[in-house]
Structure 1
Amino acid sequence: MLKKFYKIVIVPYTLFLLYLMFLGMGRFQYEDNLIRIEPVLSTVQFIHNTIGWKDIVIIVLGNIMMFIPFGFLGWIFPRLKDLKMLFYAFISAIVIVEALQYFTRMGIFEVDDIILNTFGVYLGWLLRRFIEKRFSRLIL
């Protein structure tokens, strides 16, 4: 039951996420192509320079939590049950998305986004394994 629901929801969810990454949340086209490649530093600077905790939670935790559903891709593509294969596929895809943000200037290519998004996928992968072990009768 969960697998069927996931298969129905993941495509619209992915499209919604792409919308947010390129057009949503007050996005605008930057005048210059921007890139931040120093891991963790830009997130630490963002947290330090942001007054409101709401912004920190939305950006940092959002970059993790919004990608948890992709940890379940093994339900659709059995090869992606393997964590290495999932990471390879996901990191390849998210680097392309970040590059598109850079080239269209509708965002910033940020290594921290890749790290946080991948951590979200890892949490989703762990959650998928937990659900499969504990609630196997609900999955079909």
Structure 2
Amino acid sequence: MKKVIKVIFGISFIFYLFALAMLLFLNSRGGTWSTDLSLLESVKFNSNFVPFKTISTYVQAIFDGSMNMNIPLKNLFGNLFMFLPMGIYLPFFINKINKVKIFTVLMFIVLLFIESIQLVTRRGSFDVDDLILNMLGALIGFGIWKAKVVQKLLK
């Protein structure tokens, strides 16, 4: 039974990584990139380094109806749930990541790298709020992984 679970997890992880790569790098999302601007000017224009700035804008929009409801819901919940599976997959495949401190540091580095790559390749924008929501989602996934019910199922 353990081998079957490992194979299923392995195959689903490959599909998840493929979908994640498509969403993060092959989709033209975020940012208004202009060829007239230097890279530094574009980075300045297309980045958010202020924590909770985007999140608060979207939460406010949900309550006051100032934008199409799909926009804040997709952004908030999409970023929250996009990395939730990573909180389950990483500790499943790498035993050393079974401690929350190690997982948190690793995920922060991975997420910072992803946000930076999106910015440099102009496939998105650097938004610290995306990083916060992605991290929160990964930690929720990690919490699910550590739940006694899940651990009992795997034994």
- SS in structure 1 opposite 2:29? coil
Quick check: 1:81 aligned with 2:130? no
The answer on whether the counterparts of 2:144 and 2:150 sit within 8 Å (CA) in structure 1 is no
1:30–1:106 contact (8 Å) kept in structure 2:
no
Secondary structure of the structure 2 residue equivalent to 1:68: coil
User: What are the Cα deviations for residues 69-119 of structure 1, in whole angstroms up to 9, with x where unaligned?
Assistant: 111111100011111111111111111110011111111111111110000
Evaluate the alpha carbon distance shift between residue 42 and residue 5 of structure 1 in structure 2; reply closer, same or farther with a 3 A threshold.
Answer: same
Runs of 4+ in structure 1 deviating by more than 4 angstroms, as ranges, are none
Q: Cα RMSD between the aligned structures?
A: 2.0
Do 2:145 and 2:151's aligned partners in 1 also have CA atoms closer than 8 Å? no
Is residue 35–residue 108 contact of structure 1 (8 Å, CA) maintained in 2? Answer: yes
Q: Pick one of 63, 85, 105 that aligns with 2:79.
A: 63
CA deviation profile, 1:19-48 (whole Å, cap 9, x unmatched) = 111222x53772223221000012212444
Residue aligning to 2:37: none
Structure 2 length as normaliser, TM-score?
0.78
> 1:112 pairs with 112, 119, 129, which one?
129
Structure 2: tracts of 5 or more residues without a match: 35-41
Q: Which residue of 1 aligns with 2:29?
A: 27
Matched with 1:134 is 149
Q: For the residues of structure 2 that align with 1:107 and 1:136, how far apart are their CA atoms?
A: 37
Give the structure 1 partner of residue 51 of structure 2: 39
* Aligned-partner Cα distance in 2 for 1:103–1:3: 36
- Give structure 1 stretches of 5+ with no counterpart: none
Indicate how the Cα distance of structure 1 residues 89 and 35 shifts in structure 2: closer, same or farther if over 3 A, else same: same
Q: Which has the larger radius of gyration?
A: 2
From the superposition, tell whether residues 90 and 19 of structure 1 become closer, same or farther in structure 2 (CA, over 3 Å): same
- Which structure has more relative contact order (CA 8 Å, sep 6+)? It is 1
Question: Measured at CA, do residues 2 and 123 of structure 1 come closer, stay the same or move farther in structure 2, by a change above 3 Å?
Answer: farther
